[in-house]
A = this chain, B = another copy of it.
């Protein structure tokens, strides 16, 4: 039941990267994700905001073509016959928009970290460009790459829950429980800096993931939010705890909690969806399991690639049940599915439909609408605010 990831591998795509220099976290993750299934070769990069450091870092990583900055890279690659097939943008949030725009304008597919931008207007402008250029745009809401998340989505589409009633989402961490940004810790510094991170703290960093996965799995549009944001750590300029109520279409009710000040939580992303006929529960820290509870029957723990696991999960798996896959494999799946999309373009064919589940520009805009509405609601004493 595991797909043979060995078979019929087309040529490796040429990947560029903007951002991801030494000391970062997500750049290294993107590089592994590009490499794990053997679908990409990293051949070009503008790794930091400083040319000399970028070149040194590129040499260490054996990236053959190093550029001083993303603008030079977009221009330079556009002219090459062996130009990159896609670029990965892994910079802080305030530096997503400009490179994304530049590479799209250069005719190059984009893989961009989330949240899409720091303002809704930027997001909309980018969406217009994507629409106009018809290029592929992948947004790395990586948790949608987990096999059992995709299975949950499929089961709901197949009607296993009947009409949905309630959605409970939570994403809790503890790494910002103290003022680590004051210690110079690089991740904390930019993520708590409005200038680089945008106006949403925990909301943008993890709240958007939580919101996205709920929409991905449920297939429902959120219509309004009532939010109460806090900054618990003295001196912190952005929110570090997010409480909110949600109203989805079709009268579905939800709650979302995102926190980076909850001791004992490393990376606790959990989703529960309840319908007329059944409930589903998934937790990222137990990613290989999906608990399905049909009303009136005992809960069933479906293992990735085990009994009851669907083709959509097998598509996103590499090894049999009981051999856990994790964060990197989920992240990889987005890259691998985007590779299929890109190859299909190169070969003028329709992509494998299973490869189309990667979040894209619309999800990016939805995320920015979410952030905007939540901030407005919180500033308006938690009044219900339309997305």
The reply to whether A306 and B298 form a contact with Cβ atoms under 8 Å apart is yes
Q: How far does the alpha carbon of A281 sit from the alpha carbon of B37 in the complex, in Å?
A: 32
Which segment, of A103-111, A132-140, A211-219, A237-245, faces chain B? A237-245
The reply to whether A28 and B9 form a contact with Cβ atoms under 8 Å apart is no
Q: How far does the alpha carbon of A259 sit from the alpha carbon of B274 in the complex, in Å?
A: 10
**Chain B: minimal CB distance from A344 (Å):** 18
Q: How far does the alpha carbon of A32 sit from the alpha carbon of B382 in the complex, in Å?
A: 45
Contact with B along A242-278 (1 / 0, CB 8 A): 0111010001011101010111111110001011111
Q: Does A323 contact B (CB under 8 A)?
A: yes
Minimal Cβ-Cβ distance residue in B for A244: B245
**Chain B: minimal CB distance from A351 (Å):** 20
Which segment, of A74-82, A193-201, A287-295, faces chain B? A287-295
Q: How far does the alpha carbon of A324 sit from the alpha carbon of B249 in the complex, in Å?
A: 33
Q: How far does the alpha carbon of A296 sit from the alpha carbon of B309 in the complex, in Å?
A: 11
Chain B hits for A308, CB < 8 A: 297-298
**Which residues from 1 to 49 on chain A have a C-beta closer than 8 Å to any C-beta of chain B?**
2, 4-9, 11-12, 20, 22-23, 25, 27-29, 31-32, 35-38
Q: Does A190 contact B (CB under 8 A)?
A: no
Q: How far does the alpha carbon of A284 sit from the alpha carbon of B314 in the complex, in Å?
A: 20
The reply to whether B267 and A253 form a contact with Cβ atoms under 8 Å apart is no
Q: Which of A2, A168, A226, A382 has the most CB of B within 10 A?
A: A226
Chain B hits for A226, CB < 8 A: 226, 228, 245, 382
Q: Does A303 contact B (CB under 8 A)?
A: yes
Q: How many copies does the complex hold?
A: 4
Which segment, of A113-121, A122-130, A326-334, A359-367, faces chain B? A326-334
Q: How far does the alpha carbon of A265 sit from the alpha carbon of B303 in the complex, in Å?
A: 10
Q: Does A299 contact B (CB under 8 A)?
A: yes
Contact with B along A154-175 (1 / 0, CB 8 A): 0000000000011010100110
Chain B hits for A69, CB < 8 A: none
Partner of A266, one of B5, B284, B303: B303
The reply to whether A230 and B253 form a contact with Cβ atoms under 8 Å apart is yes
Q: How far does the alpha carbon of A61 sit from the alpha carbon of B262 in the complex, in Å?
A: 46
The reply to whether A253 and B241 form a contact with Cβ atoms under 8 Å apart is yes
Assuming A166-B259, A262-B279, A306-B298, is B325 touching A327 (CB within 8 A)? yes
The reply to whether A32 and B318 form a contact with Cβ atoms under 8 Å apart is yes
**Chain B: minimal CB distance from A206 (Å):** 11
**Chain B: minimal CB distance from A137 (Å):** 25
11 more A-B residue pairs beyond the given contacts A232-B276, A244-B245, with a C-beta to C-beta distance below 8 A: A166-B261, A226-B245, A261-B274, A263-B279, A264-B293, A264-B299, A292-B298, A299-B300, A325-B326, A325-B328, A381-B384
Chain A interface residues (CB < 8 Å from chain B): 2, 4-9, 11-12, 20, 22-23, 25, 27-29, 31-32, 35-38, 57, 60-62, 165-166, 168, 170, 173-174, 177-178, 226, 228, 230, 232, 241, 243-245, 247, 251, 253-255, 257, 259, 261-268, 272, 274-279, 281, 284-288, 291-303, 306-308, 318-329, 381-384
Offer 25 A-B interface pairs, CB within 8 angstroms, sorted by A.
Answer: A4-B28, A5-B28, A6-B57, A7-B22, A35-B35, A35-B38, A166-B259, A174-B279, A226-B228, A243-B245, A245-B382, A262-B279, A263-B278, A263-B295, A264-B278, A266-B303, A267-B322, A284-B322, A298-B306, A298-B307, A298-B308, A299-B301, A318-B328, A326-B326, A381-B384
